[in-house]
Structure 1
Amino acid sequence: MNQSVTDEQRNRRTIFIETLRIVVRWLVVGAVRSLDIGIRNARRWYAEKSAAAGTRRKEEVANWISIAGHPFVFPPIVALLVGASLSNLFDSVKGLLTVILCCLLPASLYILWKVRIGQWSDLDVSARKDRPHLFLVAFAFLLLTVLVLSVTGQSIVYARGCLAAIILIVGGWFLNRWLKPSMHAGFAMLTASSLWPVNLQLSLVTMLFAVAVGWSRVELRRHTWLEVGVGLLLGLLVCRLILG
């Protein structure tokens, strides 16, 4: 009788120990799996957050480069410096003011008005269908500027620059039938190339900047690399044709 009780107690103890072992193993395995899943999720979240932060930083850099390389910003600044080096600061400033008052300011106001009334999508006039209208307006204001510069006998630097800009716009206008050439890249390369006779090192540096402007337009999803490449090549060819 006592022997049977002892055996039964042993069996119960064995069952209890095995059950406890199974439960502990299940808890440990579950905890390890949960920890592993948690670590993987944390790594994935960190990677996604880092990628998103990296993308935001790239877009911010691209946006600032695009602004610095805008056709209404980069070319006038370089023209001012070149004009001052070739003639004098007073004549250069007078020429720049003429370009601003006769072309850049009215063109900017016109673009802003078209965006505000909802006919154009943004200040860059990104829609390809709207570009012929933009090119026509730019052509008219540039032609007016050339006439004013010529009549007032101002520095030839600005007149030749405006003439080069007219040829560049006509080229972009023609190519707009098939693709949307980047005018940011085109004007940046035209400006950079025009520095070649003045300062070779500065011209090379600004050419790299023109390429960076092209990258920014792709990064901001305004253009493809093909459109940027066409714009850069167009700016280079126009500079060679007009400015020598």
Structure 2
Amino acid sequence: MSHTAWARALSIAGHPALLMPLAVAGGGSAAGGGPGARDTLAAGLGAAVFIALCVGAYTAWRVKAGRWAHVDASQPRERLELNLLLVALLFGMAALLAALGQPAVTSLGLALGGALVAAALALRRWGKVSLHVGFAVLAVALLWPQPLWALAAALLAAGVAWSRLELQRHTRAEVAAGLALGALAGACFVGMAGRLGA
């Protein structure tokens, strides 16, 4: 398989809409068999899948309507529209789950995902922050207490970073910015989740 084919495969495997539900499922299932872990898994996985389906349906609709060139949302206008939708979905779902009394760690993860996208939006004047890389690094934090899961996620994050450069979707600076923002969001998650007793 060529470098480009490998890069495309890694980019798809590390797409936030696919990676986040898997990270939530892996983290929740590995966290233990208690009722709290099951509640966290159910709430987090349900929210992640719902958001992924909403984003998938919206992007397909925009492409079919001729408003977007591709589901990648590569053009600045398309990317802005998609990221605004993501911020609304992530923060909205975090608030809804908190209001419904779901495990606080689930709302925390969603809110930090929203903050990651919001930071990318704030920095868009200076470049296209790689949210693929940012969410891949955040996935490591979601799986952090489990060494093998976290190692697999870290290797995938490295592969995703390489793929975004190989496919020329981002510059090195944009990949580095995604890595830094994802690491910051992940550190916040690990620190705050510990205080919440996750």
SS of residue in 1 equivalent to 2:80: helix
Deviation at 1:162, TM superposition (A): 0.5
Identity between Structure 1 and Structure 2 (%): 33
Q: For this pair of structures, how many residues does the alignment match?
A: 187
By relative contact order (CA 8 Å, sep 6+), the higher-ranking structure is 2
Q: CA RMSD in A?
A: 2.0
Deviations 1:38-76 (A, max 9, x none): xxxxxxxxxxxxxxxxxx621111111111101011121
Q: Which runs of 5+ in 1 are unaligned?
A: 1-55
Matches within 5 A, 1:201-216: 201-216=148-163
4+ runs deviating over 6 angstroms? none
2:15 equivalent among 50, 70, 76: 70
Are 2:45 and 1:100 aligned? no
CA contact (8 A) 1:83 1:155 kept: no
Deviations 1:143-183 (A, max 9, x none): 22112212332233321110110110111001111100111
- The structure with the largest helix share of the pair is 1
2:67 equivalent among 95, 107, 119: 119
Deviation at 1:91, TM superposition (A): 5.0
Deviation at 1:131, TM superposition (A): 2.0
Amino acid in the other structure paired with 2:21: P
For residue 31 of structure 1, what is the aligned residue in structure 2? none
Are 2:108 and 1:160 aligned? yes
Q: Which runs of 5+ in 2 are unaligned?
A: 192-198
Deviation at 1:79, TM superposition (A): 0.8
Are 2:75 and 1:130 aligned? no
For residue 196 of structure 2, what is the aligned residue in structure 1? none
Counterpart-to-counterpart distance in 1, 2:185 and 2:21: 17
